Structure 1
């Protein structure tokens, strides 16, 4: 498989140990992640060549963030390091039982938010790539980041590269004067595959789905692909949240008029749900390249996402064989020797 390139911000994640709350903890565990980069790192664990494009501050925190992704096999050679700005942070308080997990962001004025779109020669950056992936978080950060995303998609289209996006609408991020509803349609129009729920389709594109859960996804996908003819496949996960410690998920796929759905997979206890969506799209990218059956590709993606809920940190550290073991019905968690 040719290289997958992702584009977006990487942040430092700071979290109390175990299930401590932020006001009571004396220590914070440090890791790094970002929706787009998490996809690259998960793919690298699966043996897929993956590169990330981003901007970091030229200081010890920026170098540490980039090195974190390098250690998992991500090509970081196309990233920029700039003076005068900071690394974005986020604080994660892991919930339990009835108490949900909480995130506090501290990412204003980051190096990535202040990037120069002209600094990226996308034709050169994508020359060895077969796939470009981005998330709706990236254009939400700043007008410059939105322009750079648009430039990346345009280059990918010129080069005949597959483009995927997790539209991932985060209302509170769009603070720089442009509305998501004005920016996202032009970006999504250049995509071949999107991760999109009925709620995001309504919020971003004014697409109203039917009430029934399955029919709602089908109805939304039909309208989305009619409005954006470049889109050939729409995928999403369906969640049944029992508590902060117990999730059930299934995968949904709309592929040029055909609908596919996996069974629900039960995840209890949930160790860390951050990055579950990134694991789903990375699993789908892998499955799309390695399986002839669309059902198998969707199953691989959904189980990869389920496994991420059992792993600390943002990145899904699973090999294809682990996912395939569960695809064969081995769902008991029995010790492997």
Structure 2
């Protein structure tokens, strides 16, 4: 290890001046700047001609009765795998087929109702020859993502997404860096355009992402709320002692107050009671004397992530779930903690 590199390893927390002088940081900034320039070129290309082919590609994938089959070799193949995963998670059935394995039986994964999306910067990747020939023979739609429209892949494709030429961030101009960043960005653009075309909702997104904190945040309030006999509720006019008994019985630290027709009137919380505990007339009061008349409410289809944001920003522990102006449930902060969203 060079002396400068050794010093850098020993002092990971550098000052701004020292950071500016670090060879590693300077290299990182050059790399990111070069890739940023490549993405800028891609944006310009989409606005100046590539956009027509992009629109056609979106229409071709959206109209396919089967799946999007991503394929590519080397770094393009790794990008293809990521694009396939993004498409599949956002409502477009997709899978990755390795072009070399395709020549040894995996072509059976590709069906006439599918559309192949092949990635190759040069457009002359030898391993793609068989899958290109198969697509043409069996009339499988073929979309190319390449920098060379005049290549074998570009000529044979039904739709050619021609990436603009851009300098690789590698100082030797060899390692795929800027090129793969552009491929990945274009793949993400395809996935998002298809998502928007289909009107893919957050609810649908949650179906494909049930695990972890992301999955929890995409669940709806109706899935964790306490309703029916569990809902602490009393009618307007209920004596204060009876309201307190309902709070104690249900254990949520509050009770929902309703009008005679079932519409929401307010909420009485432990905090309301603590602020009035020394009142001598407490026993003679009705529940509406101390209730809050404009409690925070959410709809049953509200995402848990949104419910959590409301509770934390408002510094409250419970939200009333309302449908057609009537309370149908209550969601407590502890419910959100148990769901894994927090």
| TM-score under structure 2 length normalisation | 0.21
Relative CO higher for 1 or 2, CA cutoff 8 Å, sep ≥ 6? 1
**Bigger-Rg structure (1/2):** 2
The structure richer in strand per residue is 1
| TM-score under structure 1 length normalisation | 0.21
